[in-house]
C-alpha cells in the first residue's frame, strides 16, 4: 500500500524549540522560588504535555497537584511571551514539506503541546503549504500515546491508518504510531535517543528529513535491522 499521508510530531521533529521551552519553564521556576534546571535536562522533560513538563522540572518536594497546576498556568503565560525567540524549523524540514506537497501527499501534525500553541507554531513556521490536519493536546482527547487523535486525523483525511506514516522523536511518538495503526518513523535529530525509539517500536529510523522520501512508495515496511552499536551507543541504520 502506498503512503498517502505523513503526520508529524512538532517539538523535536519539525521544530527545534528546546531553548524556548526551557526558558519558559525556568522563568516559571524562578518566579515561584524554585531552582532553575539545566538545558541538558529538558529533552527528558518534554514529550508528555505541558503539565508533565512542569511537573518534571519542579523539585520532587514541590510536585503536588496544587503547585503543578499553579506553575503550569504561569508557564503558559511565560511561553506565550517567548515561544518564537529561538525556535526554528530543523534543517531540511521546509524542503521536505514542499516536496510532500508537490507529490500530493497529505501532511498533518499531532503533538502533545497545547493545541493553541501547536496551531500558533504551525501557522508561524510553516505558512505554506498548509497542513491538512493539526492537533495539539486538547482536554477532550487523550494525549499521545493514546491513539485517539490519530484515529480522528485519519477519519478527517479519509484514509486508513496503515496508509499514514507517523514521524516523531520520542518513545511516546513510536507507541502512538503503533497504537493508531500507522507506520512509526523515528527521527535521529530530535530530543530523544535512537535506543528509545527502537525500544518503543520504531519501524524506521531516519537521519535527515530527505531520508523520509524513499519510504513513501513501500507497501510493507520491514523492522529495523539489529546492527551493532557504534561509538556513543547509536545504532547504525
Active-site residue set: 9
Q: What is the dihedral of CA 5, 10, 12, 13, to 10 degrees?
A: 20
Task: Determine contact, residues 204/185, Cβ cutoff 8 Å.
Answer: yes
Q: Is 9 left (phi over 0), alpha (psi -120 to 50) or beta?
A: beta
What is the enclosing helix (H) or strand (E) of 153? helix 148-157
Query: 3-state DSSP call for residue 143?
Result: coil
Alpha helices, DSSP H only, in the chain?
A: 18-31, 42-45, 50-57, 65-82, 93-102, 115-125, 148-157, 171-180, 194-199
Pairing state between β 15-16 and 88-89: antiparallel
Amino acid at each position: 500500500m502506498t503512503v498517502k499521508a505523513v503526520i508529524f510530531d512538532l517539538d523535536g521533529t519539525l521544530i527545534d524549540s528546546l531553548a524556548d521551552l526551557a526558558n519558559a519553564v525556568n522563568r516559571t521556576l524562578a518566579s515561584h522560588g524554585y531552582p532553575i534546571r539545566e538545558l541538558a535536562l529538558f529533552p527528558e522533560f518534554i514529550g508528555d504535555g505541558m503539565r508533565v513538563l512542569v511537573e518534571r522540572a519542579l523539585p520532587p518536594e514541590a510536585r503536588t497537584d496544587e503547585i503543578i497546576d499553579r506553575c503550569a498556568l504561569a508557564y503558559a503565560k511565560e511561553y506565550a511571551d517567548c515561544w518564537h525567540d529561538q525556535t526554528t524549523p530543523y534543517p531540511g524540514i521546509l524542503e521536505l514539506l514542499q516536496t510532500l506537497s508537490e507529490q500530493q501527499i497529505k501532511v498533518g501534525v499531532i503533538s502533545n503541546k497545547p493545541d493553541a500553541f501547536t496551531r500558533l507554531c504551525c501557522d508561524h513556521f510553516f505558512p505554506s503549504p498548509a497542513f491538512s490536519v493539526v492537533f495539539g493536546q486538547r482536554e477532550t482527547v487523550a494525549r499521545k500515546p493514546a491513539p485517539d487523535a490519530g484515529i480522528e486525523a485519519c477519519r478527517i483525511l479519509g484514509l486508513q491508518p496503515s496508509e499514514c506514516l507517523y514521524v516523531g522523536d520520542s518513545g511516546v511518538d513510536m507507541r502512538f504510531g503503533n497504537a493508531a495503526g500507522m507506520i512509526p518513523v523515528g527521527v535521529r535529530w530530535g530530543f530523544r535517543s535512537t535506543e528509545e525509539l527502537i525500544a518503543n517500536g520504531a519501524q524506521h529510523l531516519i537521519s535527515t528529513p530527505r531520508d523520509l522520501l524513499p519510504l513513501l512508495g513501500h507497501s510493507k515496511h520491514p523492522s529495523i535491522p539489529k546492527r551493532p552499536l557504534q561509538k556513543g551507543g547509536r545504532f547504525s541504520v
